[in-house]
Amino acid sequence: MLCKDTNVTARRSFLRGAAGAIGAGLLGDRVLEALPQNVNTNSKPSDLKITDLRVLTIGRSWPIIRIDTNQGVYGLGEVRDGASKNYALLLKSRIMGENPCSVDKVFRKIKQFGGHSRQAGGVCAVEMALWDLAGKAYNVPVYQMLGGKFRDRIRCYADTTESHDPKVYGQRMKERREQGFTWLKMDLGVDLVAQVPGSLTMPLGNSLAYGDPTQHMFTGTEITDKGIELMCDYVAQIREIVGMDVPLSADHFGHIGVNSCIRLGKALTRYNLAWLEDMIPWQYPELLKKISDAVDIPLLTGEDIYLKEPFIELCRTHAVDIIQPDLATSGGILETKKIGDAAQELGVPMAMHMAGSPVAAMASVHCAAATENFLVLENHSVDLPWWSDLVEGVEKPIINKGFITVPDKPGLGVTLNEAVVKQHLGVPGYFEPTPQWNQDRTNDRLWS
């Protein structure tokens, strides 16, 4: 293992040799800057081995993993919000003994254990933690290992508590603008008009309850002209309060059919919305394209998609105008950058979904910094007073006037604030041992 004294001795030997060759008068800051001053002398990356994986859960839905190594260097990752920590623990036996700096190799080994939406949480958490580890081992920020950064600050938008009163909701969103946010987003569901007779046509006795597993096209729910007029009036009042000069995105339309999506989208055109999000499930690209071809507002989807191939197909056919991966679902940091780069080749910009702790947020920040066609990053926790306090090592508040500064420290650039995390544990235990997950080996090979 290289020690600091050895490194210093090597540098002195270099200087003596150089001085003898070209004269001490020519040596200065340029020579010193050329020397390998940034190697982490506490770690020898080629000899790193994964020795453990442990988990804690912040609140009810943020599982944080820690991957440990034989050299004391560790990495942090986060399972997708609301997903089981077991998705990550399942992978422990499959990554033990691997070199964490071989990020792509390990990812290719475990990516078969992911799936669309929350089922990808474990794979993505491990991938995040591997990048954090590799960055610490080489003493560089993650964005640098992705090829460098295109921007120093990451633009954010914030979810805002709903109100059926457009004046109340508009004022809340105006306050976001006053906080410094330069991009706004609203929920715009048919629940707004559900209690107004004649606004919706739906099978009697059906419910609009959130979480209904029936996909949009199969509910038999359609919006009427009256319902569309009411929803347009709602948006008009909000636009009057926040102005027309700021991007305003819309989400959570409700489980309405394709034709209702088209009629509503056309009626909303005059309010110049930045995008209409997840109008129908992403698994129906032909139907998404039918909507996008008919509506003059950008369509967006992607937070539940795993791996780059489905994104590329959506972009290739222009079924949507903007993609929105969540790297805690899409395959992690590198896979999401690949998604963005592929989309850019096809003329499609990339927003990013994020509803987790500062660990997932910082992973997203590094990816966004390194991806040229990035637009804006979501955050669900602007109003959570202790959110920024969960980590140390970055500027506070993390979201400052609508932007997050890209950290320049090694890896993701943050460490957990143990005291604050312990105050907000959703499940007892702070990175407790997990020996029961050490052995779970099967024939995982995908080919014969």
Q: What's residue 4's pLDDT? A: 39
Is the same domain home to 27 and 52? no
Provide the pLDDT for residue 427. 93
**Is the confidence at residue 311, as pLDDT, over 50?**
yes
Residue 224 lies in a domain: yes
Q: Order across the sheet with 322-323: list the strands.
A: 184-187, 248-251, 276-277, 299-301, 322-323, 350-352, 374-379, 153-158, 403-405, 399-400
Residue 20: the pLDDT is 41
Tokens (6 digits) for 97: 């003994």
361-378 average pLDDT score: 98
| Cβ proximity of 198 and 222 under 8 Å | no
Q: Looking at per-residue confidence, does 42 or 194 come out higher?
A: 194
CATH number at residue 81: 3.30.390.10
The answer to whether residues 288 and 390 belong to one domain is yes
Pinpoint the alpha helices (H) of 23-164: 29-34, 86-89, 92-95, 103-110, 121-138, 142-145
Q: Which domain holds residue 125?
A: 45-139+430-437
- Residues 69 and 204 grouped into a single domain: no
Stronger pLDDT, 159 or 435, i.e. the higher one: 435
Tell me: do 321 and 388 sit in the same domain.
yes
Average pLDDT (241-255) is 97
Q: How far is CA 42 from CA 4, 129, 138, 192, 386, in A?
A: 8, 19, 10, 58, 32
Same domain for 52 and 11? no
Band (35; pLDDT cuts 50, 70, 90): very low
- Residue 294: per-residue pLDDT: 98
- The whole-number average pLDDT for the span 162-182 is 97
Which amino acid, 309? E
Is 10's pLDDT higher than 70? no
Residue 202 lies in a domain: yes
- Give tens-digit pLDDT for 116-151: 999 999 999 999 999 999 999 999 999 999 999 999
Q: What is the full DSSP assignment across 327-376?
A: HHHHTSHHHHHHHHHHHHHTT--EEE---S-HHHHHHHHHHHHT-TTEEE
Does the structure show a pLDDT above 50 at 17?
no
The per-residue pLDDT for 107 is 98
Closest alpha carbon to 160 in 179, 146, 134: 179
Q: Are residues 168 and 192 in the same domain?
A: yes
User: What's the pLDDT at 37?
Assistant: 43
Amino acid symbol at 359: V
Do the domain assignments include residue 157?
yes
- Kindly tell me if the per-residue pLDDT of 22 is higher than 60: no
194 and 337 assigned to the same domain: yes
pLDDT band at 207; cut points 50, 70, 90: confident
Q: 397: cis peptide before it, omega within 30°?
A: yes
In a domain, 424, yes or no: no
Q: What is the dihedral sign for C-alpha 103, 282, 364, 125?
A: negative
**Are 340 and 208 contained in the same domain?**
yes
Q: Looking at the structure, tell me whether residues 174 and 122 fall in a common domain.
A: no
Does residue 421 fall inside a structural domain?
A: no
| Same domain? 259 vs 358 | yes
Alpha-carbon dihedral sign for residues 185, 188, 191, 193: positive
Which residue type, as a one-letter code, is found at position 232? C
Where residue 254 sits, what CATH number does that domain have?
3.20.20.120
Residue 169 within a domain: yes
Asked if residue 442 belongs to a domain, the reply is: no
Both 135 and 12 in one domain: the answer is no
> Which residue's entry shows tokens 């997932």?
360
In this structure, the answer to whether residues 277 and 220 fall within a common structural domain is yes
Domain-embedded: residue 82: yes
User: Which has the closest alpha carbon to 402: 183, 161, 249, 149?
Assistant: 183
Can you say how many angstroms the Cα of residue 290 is from the centroid of all Cα atoms in its chain?
Answer: 28
The domain total for the chain is 3
Among 159, 225, 229, smallest CA distance to 187 is for 159
The mean pLDDT of 205-222, rounded to a whole number, is: 87
On whether the CB atoms of residues 413 and 360 are closer than 8 A, the answer is: no
Segment 196-216 mean pLDDT? 88
Range in 38-52, 181-195, 231-245, 356-370 the model is least confident about: 38-52
